[in-house]
Amino acid sequence: MTSRVRDAGQQTGVAPEFTVDPAMLDAVSPSGDRGGIVLGSGLQGEPLTISALRSTPTRIVLVGGLYLARQVALRAMAVGAWIVVATGRPAAWQLLSKAAGSGPNGGPSPLVQIRRLSPVELPRPSEDAPLLVIHDGGPTPQDLFPPRSPWQTTVYVLPYLHPQASATANAADLVLMQRLPAGQAELAARIWRLPPQMMRQLTGLKDDQVVALGPNLWRPLRLVTTAKEKQLIGAITRGD
């Protein structure tokens, strides 16, 4: 099925077209709903949005490291999501608490929770308070926080592709990949059955470029960072 996807923020004009499974339109599209996160721009400069927070339990895999993961978290905070980060490197995520500010009692805002890599009770998500769980557990993550309820999205942060992560990767509704070295691109081609031209494209991405991958979806985009985000996470980089 070929579906028309409108550029975010535009009400007129013809949007780019690409072939996509209808179920994926809720996962990747310039969307006007509250869960839409403007992540970057298309090849023609048009803003592109991912609906990362939606009424269906959602899995997202990020291949590239901390910069991309923290930017996604900041964008989710901006649209009202609760953030729970399960990580073995909590210092790398404290900037989210800083960005969230203080709670009503003057302490850290409850909107951001930095946790260890162990199962914990999660806040109950809702349409008014969606939940983004970030699993920062290395290249072979355990499935500690599988998304089981509407308005919960679990993001798996992979610093690189590992053969043992193929099950996690294949279960994702959306994969965002930064540039991969040749060996990693070959593994990606095996996991997702990519043709040679797509595999080569993964090795030639610039630091600010990402490929959005899903069922019947292959969409290159360019990351865009705001001035405030640069103060928190610096200039765009690939990796940690």
Q: 13 in helix, strand or coil? A: coil
**Which parts of the chain register pLDDT below 70?**
1-35, 103, 106-107
List, for residues 6-35, the tens digit of each pLDDT value: 333 333 333 333 334 444 444 444 444 455
Can you give the pTM of this predicted structure?
0.83
Q: What is the pLDDT of residue 21?
A: 43
Q: What is the pLDDT of residue 57?
A: 95
Q: What is the pLDDT of residue 10?
A: 37
Q: Tokens 């009400």 correspond to what residue?
A: 11
Q: What is the pLDDT of residue 7?
A: 38
**Rounded-to-integer distance, Cα 66 and Cα 204, Å:** 20
Q: Tokens 């649209």 correspond to what residue?
A: 79
State in Å, rounded, how far the first CA of the chain is from the last one: 37
**Rounded-to-integer distance, Cα 41 and Cα 100, Å:** 25
Q: What is the DSSP letter of 93?
A: G
What domains appear along the chain, each with residue ranges and CATH number? Answer: 54-233 (3.40.50.300)
Q: What is the pLDDT of residue 35?
A: 53
98: its two tokens: 């800083």
Q: What is the pLDDT of residue 134?
A: 96
**Rounded-to-integer distance, Cα 165 and Cα 187, Å:** 11
Q: What is the pLDDT of residue 198?
A: 96
**Rounded-to-integer distance, Cα 120 and Cα 202, Å:** 36
Rounded to 10 degrees, the C-alpha dihedral 68/215/150/107 comes to: 0
